[in-house]
A and B are shown apart, each in its own frame.
Chain A
Amino acid sequence: MFSAELRNKAEGLVGRYPEGRSALLPLLHLVQAQDGYISHDGITECARLLALTKAEVMAVATFYSMYKRAPMGRHLVSVCINFSCKVRGAQEVYDELSARLGVGHNQTTADGAITLEHAECLGNCEGAPVVTVDYFNYECLTPEEAVRLVGQLRDSARAAASGSAPVAVPPPTRGYPSPGIRDVEYRLAGLGPRHASEPGVIPDQTTADDAAVPTPAAGPGAASETVGTETPGGGGGAEERGPEGLEPESGAGKHDYGGASEQRDEPTQPPNPADAGDSDDRPVER
């Protein structure tokens, strides 16, 4: 399901953590970077990479509100409606956007440009009412300004889809104009900027070289054959790694707004219970 490049990145993510399952939330962001939502294929891919069942992956994917069940448009527009924003006009902003766009919460415009949602406290109450575009913050927007912003986003999306001259997205209060939700999801997967033109860096992918990595079945004080001395330090190190072959994809910006078409995956073997893998037996019992 992942392109060869993204599969390589995905495997790097799994290796970044002492226990590979920690990569699941980043991997689900990576699925959204490619498909614009948590696709069935993406769930299958994550399950394979982490030796989990699809049910286990879906359980995690359905818990977190940033993972979407239907393809997002080019931009995700979030309006905070918690109370500090509400007393400064957030409901009016949301209602106006919903009316003008003709969509409600977690719905996408027909042209595939905008997905609208209302959100819980986004941690920017001093800039109330706050709207984010792909998690870039636009502070203190009136309903009219919000409508104007969204109009510019749609113009930009239309230009990108038709291959005509790019239309600039207005800059947020902090950050840079969003390249689109999928490219932002790439960063949220822990892979840094999707394009060389974006600020930020591809983080050093330290490898999980810790000593005494416990298996999930081992509890505190339990005998474990992996007990060892603590190494002087974690793996990875101070040497900077290069971009590891990341090339901006040609035609970046041309996205399939319809989302990846779902394909039935071929039947897989059920996970072999004899494999250690990861399991839900955790030493800290609920």
Chain B
Amino acid sequence: MVGPVAVVSKRYGLADSHTLSGYLASGGFAGLRASLDMAPADVLEAVKASGLRGRGGAGFPTGVKWGFVPQDLGRPVYLVINADEGEPGTFKDRELMERDPFLVLEGMIIAARALSCHRSFIFLRGEYLWPGVRLEEAIAEAYAEGWLGKDIQGSGFDFDVTLHYAAGAYICGEETALLDALEGRRGQPRLRPPFPAVAGLYASPTVVNNVETIATVPCILEQGPDWFRSMGTEKSPGPKLFCVSGEVQRPGNYEWPLGTPARTIIEQSCGGMLPGRNLKFWAPGGSSTPLLTADHVDIAMDFDAIAEAGSLLGTGAMMMFSDRTSVVDAVLNWTKFYEHESCGKCTPCREGTFWLSQILQRIVNGEGHTEDLQTLDDICDNIFGRSFCALADGAVSPIKASLKYFREEYEHLIDHGVPHAGIEAHAGVVTRNSGSDRPRAGARA
């Protein structure tokens, strides 16, 4: 059985991990140095060969995405890093940017050279102030010491990075809505085709990559695709940051190979559920991924195993909830989130999330009717796959899955007006944990 790994998170325990001197002292920029000895096309091939899949939720093969960029359109190629981490339960990119901003920059420089790109933007959600400060400092140090700007380390390669704070909109995590926001517009998704690789930012070829994805690139160049593939599974190779939250003893970010069973992460990294609580329902990759039950806890955390179980790996944000928590409460909370965050562009999502919220609120208030469950199902079916972007699909995921696995909880609320005994309506218990600034050793229990 493989244990946790420290690839992307290898510097998390170092006090000066976020400084250039700390980065260099701990082996930083080795991947970039290796890549500078390669032709750009070979760098791209290495990333393709590694099988790296996007870590932002969609899991699209990164090397394939890079390969879509045409070089002959006479337009500049842009690289945009999606640091808009807004999927509920997800906090892996935040800690990565705070603790190892240079790893993000190194990945960007390697990618840019493979793409013949000289200009890039980090689109950072506006609420991520401290990651922004850390990135500001790292970018300034990198420019000062010749790791960004003109003729990087004498390589002849020029590359600029602009940090761009956003302003609060979950939909901007969707790459085309992000591009609209970066262009100074309302963040609404775009029709595709054309895809961003051909016409993205300023109608120019653009690659949008998640923070964790780009931060995983340096190790591939440093240690090779075969080493990368020695972790994980054949179709889901490599390491992954899993952010675990909810009713566990030790919520936090934990790096394991893809394919690690969920139970292993929960028990070994998190110390299991909170005392006296048993796992009842959980989301494997953020609130947009269909809920799973305690019966699924031995599932391999990789893209394909979870898809086979009817859900999605998504961001790898594991949200764990117990038998003292009402599923309907969770579903209402998330549905209101999607209603709030809907960009309003398309009718099924804009209207549908409103109706779903209203019905769920009535049910939670004890004013539900039996017909409501069929109505919820029908509305979901009119939204899923029929909306302009995946936000709507994410909105219906909790509802459909909870109706499938926990219909009885809905029926109890409708029949009795209250959840059944043992459930705390808000599951509101404040417990101490050690927080995210605890020191991390290389191997975490």
Contacts and interface: CB of A to CB of B under 8 A. Distances in A.
A126 B184 contact: no
Interface stretch (B139-147, B306-314, B408-416): B139-147
A174 B198 contact: no
Interface residues of A, number: 98
B270 to A, nearest CB: 10
For the complex, would chain A's binding face be called helix, strand, loop or mixed by DSSP majority?
A: loop
Interface in A211-226: 211-214, 216, 218-221, 224
A232 B152 CA distance: 12
Given A59-B186, A120-B170, A128-B251, A83 B160 contact: no
Most buried by A among B85, B164, B247: B164
B22 interface: no
B127 A123 contact: yes
Contacts of A187: 129, 132-133, 165
Nearest to B253: A126
B374 interface: no
A190 B163 CA distance: 7
Interface in B109-163: 116, 118-119, 125-130, 132-133, 136-137, 139-140, 143-144, 146, 148-151, 156-160, 162-163
B2 interface: no
Given A82-B337, A212-B75, A220 B194 contact: yes
A136 interface: yes
Contacts of A8: none
A282 B201 CA distance: 11
A21 B184 contact: yes
Contact of A220 (B168, B182, B199, B244): B199
Contact of B130 (A120, A137, A219): A137
Interface in B425-443: 426-433, 435-437
A230 B118 contact: yes
B59 interface: no
A41 interface: no
A91 B186 CA distance: 30
A204 B76 contact: no
A212 B149 contact: no
Interface stretch (B24-32, B86-94, B293-301): B86-94
A201 interface: yes
Given A123-B86, A125-B251, A210-B119, A284 B127 contact: no
B430 A184 contact: no
B167 A219 contact: no
Nearest to A90: B428
A286 interface: yes
B56 interface: no
A163 B143 CA distance: 40
Given A92-B428, A199-B137, A83 B129 contact: no
A24 B184 CA distance: 5
A258 to B, nearest CB: 24
Most buried by B among A28, A120, A201, A284: A284
Contacts of A200: 133, 136-137
B87 A214 contact: no
Contacts of A65: 167-169
Given A125-B243, A127-B436, A234-B160, A82 B136 contact: no
A237 interface: yes
Contact of B426 (A17, A84, A86): A86
A214 B340 CA distance: 34
A82 B149 contact: no
B88 A83 contact: yes
Contact of B166 (A17, A25, A140, A214): A25
A211 B430 contact: no
A285 B341 CA distance: 22
A198 to B, nearest CB: 8
27 contacts: A17-B162, A22-B164, A26-B165, A65-B169, A66-B167, A81-B333, A82-B334, A86-B426, A89-B429, A92-B428, A120-B170, A121-B90, A123-B93, A124-B94, A124-B436, A126-B243, A127-B433, A135-B126, A174-B437, A210-B119, A212-B76, A212-B204, A220-B194, A220-B199, A227-B75, A230-B76, A284-B176
Interface of A: 16-19, 21-26, 28-29, 50, 59-60, 63-67, 78, 81-84, 86-93, 119-129, 132, 134-137, 139-140, 142-143, 173-175, 184, 187-190, 192, 199-201, 203-204, 206, 210-214, 216, 218-221, 224, 227-240, 282-286
